[in-house]
């Protein structure tokens, strides 16, 4: 069994290192585009209050939680300061594209709204993330503006546009494709979750791994809950309040931990700073899709 586990970890590591992660996320966005229309995105922009709430959840609520759990890591659990900084760093980055697909699986009509929220947080992260990192950690991190824009174009805009155009110009082809998209998307999602685990397994198994993992679980769980109840209190009169709560919960709870990991590896000398982001890439994905299964089952 160990042999096959090692083989799987090796394959997923190679898959991740070979830059297939971004195209894999792009395929999920393409699947959303095939199942959507331009009208869905027009409707999404008609809800600026929900978009603003998602932004507040991402860049106000989440950093506050990151700061609290970072302090707890150092003062309560006695962990090294770089580990606390790593938790704070995770809270400073933009939303995860996987949150868009999670929303699509639970509430398809709100997937365009989720995509708009994530794209906005990613686009503005080039300014907000350095400011938050300076405020919480005391270190200003330069973020690659061109890289961020390129990421949005490659992973979100281009695949969704391709799916929308295909749906508009070749509806019969899209109809024939749709039965194959769910199983392919499940396999794709499994790789997107498994690859970070394979490549960051040493961080998960490090001496601090268990304690940091529990703190990261508590951190993301608090963010999921905060997003859910914040939107519930603000939009309690909305006809689709439950769907909005799920959408904003995903948006607040799921973070671009891979970006945090890249920043930790590049701009911090202490390797311990990268441990929380590495663990977060795994925990965030597993928790998000666990919620997908729970909420999808409840809807049935």
pLDDT in tens, 214-256: 999 999 999 999 999 999 999 988 899 999 999 999 999 998 8
Rounded-to-integer distance, Cα 292 and Cα 297, Å:
8
Q: Using CA atoms in the order 152, 153, 157, 162, what is the torsion angle rounded to 10 degrees?
A: -150
Q: For the chain, which domains are there?
A: 1-297 (1.20.1530.20)
**What does the pLDDT read at residue 98?**
81
Q: What global pTM score does this model have?
A: 0.79
DSSP for 259-277, please give it.
HHHHHHHHH-SSGGGGHHH
Minimum mean pLDDT range among 15-19, 30-34, 61-65, 86-90? 15-19
Rounded-to-integer distance, Cα 64 and Cα 239, Å:
30
Mean pLDDT of 49-58: 94
**What does the pLDDT read at residue 192?**
63
Helices (H) and strands (E) in the chain, counts: 17, 0
Rounded-to-integer distance, Cα 84 and Cα 95, Å:
20
**What does the pLDDT read at residue 208?**
77
**What does the pLDDT read at residue 66?**
95
Tokens (6 digits) for 163: 């799916």
227 against 257, higher pLDDT: 227
Whether residue 15 is predicted with pLDDT greater than 50 in this model: the reply is no
Whether residue 200 is predicted with pLDDT greater than 80 in this model: the reply is no
Whether residue 2 is predicted with pLDDT greater than 70 in this model: the reply is no
Rounded-to-integer distance, Cα 157 and Cα 185, Å:
18
């Amino acid at each position: 069994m160990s042999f096959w586990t090692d083989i799987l970890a090796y394959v997923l590591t190679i898959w991740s290192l070979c830059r297939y992660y971004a195209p894999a996320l792009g395929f999920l966005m393409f699947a959303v585009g095939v199942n959507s229309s331009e009208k869905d995105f027009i409707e999404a922009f008609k809800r600026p209050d929900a978009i603003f709430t998602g932004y507040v959840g991402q860049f106000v609520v989440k950093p506050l939680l990151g700061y609290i759990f970072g302090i707890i890591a150092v003062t309560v659990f006695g962990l090294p300061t770089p580990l606390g900084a790593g938790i704070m760093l995770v809270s400073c980055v933009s939303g995860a594209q996987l949150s868009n697909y999670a929303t699509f699986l639970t509430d398809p009509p709100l997937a365009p709204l989720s995509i708009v929220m994530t794209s906005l947080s990613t686009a503005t992260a080039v300014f907000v993330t350095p400011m938050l990192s300076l405020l919480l950690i005391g270190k200003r991190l330069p973020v690659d503006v061109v890289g961020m824009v390129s990421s949005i174009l490659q992973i979100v805009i281009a695949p969704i546009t391709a799916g929308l155009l295909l749906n508009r110009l070749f509806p019969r082809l899209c109809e024939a494709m749709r039965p194959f998209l769910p199983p392919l998307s499940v396999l794709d999602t499994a790789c997107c979750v498994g690859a970070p685990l394979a490549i960051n397994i040493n961080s998960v198994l490090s001496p601090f791994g268990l304690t940091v993992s529990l703190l990261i679980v508590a951190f993301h769980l608090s963010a999921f809950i905060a997003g859910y109840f914040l939107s519930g209190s603000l939009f309690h009169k909305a006809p689709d309040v439950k769907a909005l709560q799920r959408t904003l919960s995903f948006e607040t709870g799921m973070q671009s931990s891979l970006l945090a990991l890249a920043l930790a590896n590049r701009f911090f000398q202490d390797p311990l700073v990268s441990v929380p982001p590495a663990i977060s890439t795994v925990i965030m994905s597993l928790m998000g899709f666990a919620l997908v299964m729970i909420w999808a089952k409840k809807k049935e």
